[in-house]
């Protein structure tokens, strides 16, 4: 995300919600592309798929009632006409900035240059508090082009077309997550100038040349090319391919080269969600339909194809295989609207009821921006579910009335015609909903999933048992869900922030950074998918519910793998010397936050808002929970997120839950986050005991 300046301390009755439908055998296949309909001139044709979730036919009538305005458009000169601007993607920095920023398809780093492109496999190094694999300029390729334009993309791969001074296409270049290949197709006869001399690769086959830089081999697989005697110029006829492969140190080039020969055309994603697990299939489709080389990361688990090499990435070791893609099975994390209070005794329930009355009576005026305003609405929603569970009907009804009033204001489709806060408008240039007042760069599409997940969670609770309110709130809630989770239309970016290969979301809209895109709060991303799933259940949208459950499950696994349960046992990661990561970038993993250097903040931002049902995502290993807390409080009591740290502590077993409960009862009100309440904190801890 864009830097959060002076960010403050962060932040039921589910049984009456419509049942969340998760089809045990349903598989949704997505030939993922940027927009429906014909491709722009010069672009590869879209592979095509039926719209799956919240398509244009559903959202366009709703958008007709919403004012349009663009607050902060990105430069779109490098995006082909007709394509939806790809905000919040791993490659957004390539497209949505004045100058192209480096991107990290993994295991490669890549950057567009004035007359071509640069790429290389980063050398990953670790030091206290930092794992880094910066942009590496090993191979510089110039092809006489004058400009580059993104002409096709999906959630895993992106194609740029490079044009000469007469605006004629020179070549197509495709990169993809998990691919060690830079695919290159000549649109016209031309020559390449390369920064490192190429030599024929002995024994690897015809048309294969090698350049060695920094101890790494890069193979050019170009059977129709002519390479000059000095190895610095490559002549290509029209239609020829010239793919580059970063050769793994433990790989056999003769075996790998044929698998890197066919250019990548596009990548498709399929998923299924069942009670016990969700499955993800990522299919890499080459131009001739042959298998290719695909790398997998730790969260993907074991693959059926045998490894043919490996790389080190900032995410950890990457296993390379000759296959058609990635197949991963992930434990299902089911969305929940309420805590399980069934084991509480009468004294605990009475204690909660007494605290509930205090918290319900001290809500005050709610913030007017989309981040803190959304948190405040979600805070009321948690109190509503607790009031219902505790039998406090009067408090529940009072809170429901307040929440409905607040949501009616925010969800008024024409609200932004009358005011500059507590409303949403549609940005027709960047293709998405923008709330007023914006916060943390949300006008640039930063953090939309964090913000809108809160609104959708609150709306799902608010409409429980109230058909009239459901009808009233549905138009705007549907649009907010579409902004972060739709697939298959042109009015919104597909899966706004979610990266199916990485298994997590990206928070920066335009990604104006040299280290790629990033995400700080893995837990707020988890809460976002939960909010979408609960709204899908409340509104009866089975396709959205299936997709949101899949995303929630993957995001939960990635949060443990790359943020809270970091594995530093293998080299070179041992020097990192920390148990959690504060910000995951594509080019580094950093023990930091955007808003505070305090260890408690670095852990706390991975915990908030600790919604119902997310305990297993955070605390499957009690020893690791205690290790993380010890690190967070190594300098003394937590100055920030003390409430969430106590809730987290309760996941380490009954004895720790009792200690946390005692401390929570005495915690000063000033130490309770503005998205939390003492009632919810106590109820969370009691439900873990």
pLDDT value, residue 473: 98
Q: How far apart are CA 528 and CA 533, in angstroms?
A: 9
- CA distances to 102, 159, 248, 519, 628 from 109, rounded to whole Å, are 7, 15, 15, 18, 31
Residue 208: CB atoms within 10 Å = 24
What are the tokens at 25?
């055998």
User: Is the model's pLDDT at 7 over the cut of 50?
Assistant: no
pLDDT per residue as tens digits for the range 223-265: 999 999 999 999 999 999 999 999 999 999 999 999 999 999 9
> In the predicted model, is pLDDT for residue 47 greater than 90?
no
- DSSP-derived 3-state class of residue 455: helix
- Rounded mean pLDDT, 297-310: 95
**pLDDT of the residue at 204:** 85
Return the CATH fold of 14-21+340-688. Glycosyltransferase (1.50.10)
**Could you tell me where the DSSP H helices lie in 268-368?**
346-360
Answer whether residue 16 shows pLDDT above 50: no
pLDDT at 471: 98
**DSSP output for 120-150:** E-PPPEEETTEEE------EEEE-S-SEEEE
Q: How confident is the model at residue 617 (pLDDT cuts 50, 70, 90)?
A: confident
Residue 598 has pLDDT above 80, yes or no: yes
Average pLDDT, the chain: 92
Is the pLDDT assigned to residue 48 strictly greater than 60? no
306/383 Cα distance (integer angstroms): 51
Tell me the C-alpha to C-alpha distance, in Å, between residue 203 and each of 207, 210, 213, 255, 525.
11, 12, 20, 11, 49
Q: What is the pLDDT of residues 432-474, one digit of tens each?
A: 999 999 999 999 999 999 999 999 999 999 999 999 999 999 9
Give the pLDDT confidence score for residue 639 in this predicted structure.
82
Question: DSSP E strands: which ranges in 248-302?
Answer: 264-273, 277-286, 292-296
Q: Give the pLDDT band of residue 203 (cuts 50, 70, 90).
A: confident
Distance of CA 409 to the CA centre of its chain: 29
State the alpha helices, DSSP H only, in 65-218.
Answer: 92-95
Q: What percent of the chain has pLDDT over 90?
A: 89
State how far the Cα of 75 lies from the Cα of 257, in Å rounded to an integer.
38
pLDDT at residue 620, as a whole number: 74
Q: How many CB atoms lie within 10 A of CB 476?
A: 24
User: What are the residues whose beta carbons fall under 8 Å from the beta carbon of 349, sequence distance 6 or more?
Assistant: 341, 390
Q: Is the pLDDT of residue 35 over 90?
A: no
594 touches 1 (CB < 8 A):
yes
Which range is least confidently modeled, 12-21, 411-420, 462-471, 555-564?
Answer: 12-21
- The Cα 229–Cα 139 span in angstroms is 18
pLDDT of residue 619: 73
Give the pLDDT of residue 614. 87
* E strand spans, 222-324: 226-227, 233-236, 243-247, 264-273, 277-286, 292-296, 307-313, 316-323
Composition of the chain by helix, strand, coil, percent to 5: 30, 25, 45
Per-domain residue ranges of the chain: 14-21+340-688, 103-330
Q: What is the reported pLDDT for 689?
A: 66
Spatial contact of 552 and 535, defined as CB atoms under 8 Å apart? no
Mean per-residue pLDDT for 510-520? 98
DSSP per-residue letters across 386-448:
HHHHTT-HHHHHHHHHHHHHHHHHHT-TTGGGT-SSSEEEEETTTTEEEEES--TTGGGTTTH
Whether the predicted pLDDT of 51 surpasses 50: no
As a whole number, mean pLDDT of residues 54-62 equals: 97
Total count of residues recorded for the chain: 689
The yes or no reply on domain 103-330 and CATH 2.70.98 is: yes
319 bridge partner residues? 296, 310
Whose structure tokens read 């793998």? 561
pTM above 0.95, yes or no: no
Question: Could you give the dihedral angle defined by the CA atoms of residues 269, 524, 451 and 547, in that order, rounded to the nearest 10 degrees?
Answer: 30
Pairing verdict, β 316-323 and 292-296: antiparallel
């Amino acid at each position: 995300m864009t830097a959060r300046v002076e960010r403050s301390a962060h932040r039921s009755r589910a049984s009456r919600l419509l049942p969340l439908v998760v089809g045990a055998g349903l598989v949704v296949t997505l030939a993922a592309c940027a927009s429906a309909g014909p491709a722009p001139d010069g672009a590869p044709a879209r592979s095509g798929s039926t719209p799956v979730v919240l398509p244009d036919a559903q959202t366009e009538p709703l958008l007709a009632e919403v004012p349009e305005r663009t607050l902060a458009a990105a430069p779109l000169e490098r995006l082909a006409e007709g394509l939806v601007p790809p905000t919040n993607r791993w490659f957004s920095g390539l497209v949505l900035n004045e100058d192209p920023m480096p991107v990290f398809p993994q295991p490669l780093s890549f950057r567009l240059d004035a007359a071509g492109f640069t790429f290389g496999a980063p050398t990953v190094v670790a030091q206290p508090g930092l794992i880094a694999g910066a942009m590496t300029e090993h191979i510089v390729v110039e092809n006489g082009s004058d400009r580059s334009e993104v002409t096709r993309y999906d959630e895993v791969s992106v194609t740029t077309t490079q044009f000469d001074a007469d605006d004629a296409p020179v070549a197509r270049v495709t990169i993809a997550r998990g691919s060690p290949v830079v695919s290159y197709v000549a649109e016209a006869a031309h020559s390449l100038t390369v920064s490192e001399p190429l030599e024929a690769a002995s024994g690897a086959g015809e048309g294969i040349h090698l350049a060695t830089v920094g101890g790494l081999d890069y193979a050019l697989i170009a059977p129709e090319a002519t390479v000059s005697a000095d190895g610095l110029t490559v002549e290509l006829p029209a239609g020829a391919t010239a793919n580059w492969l970063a050769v793994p140190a433990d790989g056999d080039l003769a075996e790998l080269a044929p698998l890197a020969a066919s250019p990548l055309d596009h990548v498709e994603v399929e998923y299924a969600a069942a009670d016990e697990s969700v499955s993800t299939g990522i299919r890499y489709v080459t131009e001739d339909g042959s298998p290719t080389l695909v790398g997998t990361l730790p969260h993907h688990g074991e693959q059926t194809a045998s490894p043919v090499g490996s790389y080190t990435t900032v995410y950890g070791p990457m296993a390379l295989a000759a296959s058609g893609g990635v197949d991963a099975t992930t434990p299902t994390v089911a969305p929940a609207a309420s805590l399980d209070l069934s084991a509480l005794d009468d004294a605990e329930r009475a204690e909660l009821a007494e605290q509930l009355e205090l918290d319900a009576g001290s809500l005050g005026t709610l913030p007017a921006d989309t981040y803190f305003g959304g948190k405040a609405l979600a805070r009321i929603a948690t109190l509503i579910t607790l009031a219902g569970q505790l039998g406090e009907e009067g408090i529940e009804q009072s809170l429901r009335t307040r929440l409905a009033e607040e949501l009616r204001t925010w969800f008024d489709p024409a609200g932004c015609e009358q005011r500059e806060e507590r409303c949403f408008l549609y940005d027709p240039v960047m293709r998405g909903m923008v709330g007023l007042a914006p916060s943390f760069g949300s006008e640039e599409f930063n953090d939309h999933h964090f913000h809108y997940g809160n609104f959708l969670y609150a709306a799902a609770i608010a409409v429980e048992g109230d058909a009239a309110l459901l009808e009233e709130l549905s138009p705007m809630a549907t649009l907010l869900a579409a902004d972060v989770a739709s697939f298959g239309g042109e009015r919104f970016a597909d899966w706004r922030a979610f990266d199916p290969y990485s298994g997590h979301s990206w928070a920066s809209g335009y990604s104006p950074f040299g280290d790629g895109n990033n995400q700080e709060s893995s837990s707020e991303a988890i809460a976002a998918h939960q909010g979408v799933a609960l709204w899908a259940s409340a509104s009866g949208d089975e396709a959205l519910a299936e997709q949101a459950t899949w995303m929630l499950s993957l995001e939960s696994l990635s949060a443990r793998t790359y943020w809270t349960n970091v594995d530093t046992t293998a080299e070179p990661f041992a020097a990192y010397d920390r148990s959690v990561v504060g910000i995951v970038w594509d080019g580094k993993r950093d023990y930091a936050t955007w808003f505070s250097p305090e260890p408690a903040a670095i852990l706390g931002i991975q915990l908030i808002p600790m919604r119902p049902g997310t305990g297993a995502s955070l605390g499957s290993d009690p020893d690791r929970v205690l290790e993380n807390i010890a690190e967070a409080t190594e300098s003394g009591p937590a100055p920030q997120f003390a409430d969430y740290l106590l809730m987290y502590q309760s996941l380490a077993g009954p004895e720790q839950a009792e200690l946390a409960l005692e401390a929570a009862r005495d915690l000063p009100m000033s130490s309770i986050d503005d998205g939390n309440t003492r009632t919810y904190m106590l109820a969370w801890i009691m439900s873990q005991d």
